[in-house]
Amino acid sequence: MNDPGWNIATSNSTNSYKFLVLFSDANCLILAEKLRSAAVERRWLRCSMWLPRHRITKPPKCCLFVFELLCAYMDDTVEVFDNSCLQNTTKLSKST
Block means of pLDDT (10 residues each) for the chain, 96 residues, are: 52 73 93 75 78 87 91 67 62 51
Residue 74 is predicted with a pLDDT of 66
Residue 25 is predicted with a pLDDT of 94
Please report, for the chain, the start and end positions of each structural domain, with discontinuous segments joined by +.
Answer: 8-73
Per the DSSP assignment, residues forming a β-bridge with 48 are 31
Distance of CA 58 to the CA centre of its chain: 15
Does the pTM surpass 0.75? The reply is no
Q: Of 35, 40, 69, nearest to 49 (Cα)?
A: 69
Residue 96 is predicted with a pLDDT of 46
Q: How many C-beta atoms lie closer than 10 Å to residue 63's C-beta?
A: 20
Q: How many C-beta atoms lie closer than 10 Å to residue 7's C-beta?
A: 13
Residue 66 is predicted with a pLDDT of 92
Q: Are 30 and 22 in contact (CB under 8 A)?
A: yes
